């Protein structure tokens, strides 16, 4: 456990300056390009689980996921484009299942994955790039807030669960997670929100910051559990091994997909 923690800390020490530079010093298109690469890697991990051994389906699904991000970036304000995306995904899902039938007993699940995956992964990461672009001068701050709501929640849950955890949270899905860890995660999310309010996103009212911590931090933990359920259903421990100490990219952004989406909804509906 100590070696895993050391690997996590070392990874964070290397990644944090790169991410902060991209977020605060680079243009929105540069951040979008970086996130698109992450989306590509995450897609390979996801569809490697949902469509094992089927390279054609994996490529199609990866392109659909990147396509969802592209639609949000270029046409996110056009209801016609969003409606077209909603209609196209089920059509492609059915056609892909028919042309790449494989084992009949998994065909329906694979078909649903073609709809769910692009919206879950492409939509969640797409919200992260829209935060940067549509948030104006506060855009980079909102991106960092979404990251903090996810990662400080994860950190708070890790330490609270390790030192205080006694009651299992959802043992059938994630045996190591505890109720105490979940509360620690909310405390971590609140700490991240307060850091935003006092230091780098001072236009965010403290009540709104704490509200986001509770809502986004709580639902972000559900996103973490959801990805654990996904992995458990496919019999894998980690989605990949690209990030030392963390496993795959999906293992690192599972909560972020939700915190970014909720932060963007807040930006659109409560910030005028």
CA distance 230 to 233: 5
| pLDDT reported for residue 3 | 54
CB 22 within 8 A of CB 34: yes
Taking the chain (272 residues) in runs of 10, the rounded mean pLDDT of each run is: 63 84 96 97 96 96 98 95 96 97 94 97 98 96 97 94 94 93 97 96 96 96 94 88 76 95 95 68
Q: Would the pTM count as exceeding 0.75?
A: yes
Structure tokens at 115: 């709809």
CB 94 within 8 A of CB 111: yes
- The helix/strand/coil state of 261 is helix
What does the DSSP 8-state code read for residue 169? E
- Closest among 220, 230, 231 to 254, alpha carbons compared: 220
| pLDDT reported for residue 1 | 52
- The helix/strand/coil state of 254 is coil
| pLDDT reported for residue 15 | 81
**CA 8 → CA 2, 13, 131, 223, distances in Å?**
10, 9, 26, 20
Please spell the DSSP secondary structure of 61-117, one letter per residue: HHHHHHHHHHHHHHHTT-HHHHHHHHHHHHHHHHHHHHHT---GGGHHHHHHHHHHH
């Amino acid at each position: 456990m100590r070696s895993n923690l050391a690997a996590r800390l070392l990874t964070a020490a290397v990644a944090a300056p790169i991410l902060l530079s991209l977020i605060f010093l680079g243009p929105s298109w540069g951040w979008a390009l970086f996130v698109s690469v992450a989306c590509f890697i995450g897609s390979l991990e996801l569809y490697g689980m949902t469509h094992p051994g089927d390279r054609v389906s994996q490529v199609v699904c990866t392109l659909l996921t990147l396509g969802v991000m592209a639609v949000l970036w270029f046409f996110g304000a056009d209801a016609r484009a969003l409606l077209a995306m909603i209609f196209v995904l089920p059509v492609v899902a059915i056609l892909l299942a028919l042309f790449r039938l494989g084992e009949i007993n998994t065909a329906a699940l694979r078909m649903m994955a073609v709809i769910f995956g692009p919206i879950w992964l492409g939509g969640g990461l797409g919200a992260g790039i829209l935060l940067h672009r549509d948030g104006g001068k506060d855009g980079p701050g909102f991106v960092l807030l979404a990251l903090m709501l996810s990662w400080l929640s994860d950190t708070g849950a890790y330490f609270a669960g390790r030192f205080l955890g006694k009651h299992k949270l959802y043992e059938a899905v994630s045996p190591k997670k505890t109720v105490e860890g979940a509360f620690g995660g909310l405390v971590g999310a609140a700490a991240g929100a307060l850091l935003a309010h006092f230091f780098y996103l001072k236009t965010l009212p403290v009540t709104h910051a704490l509200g986001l911590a509770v809502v986004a931090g709580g639902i972000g933990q559900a996103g973490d559990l959801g990805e654990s359920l996904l992995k458990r259903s496919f019999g894998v421990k980690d989605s990949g091994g690209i990030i030392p100490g963390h496993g795959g990219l999906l293992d690192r952004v599972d909560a972020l997909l939700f915190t970014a989406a909720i932060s963007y909804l807040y930006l659109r509906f409560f910030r005028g």
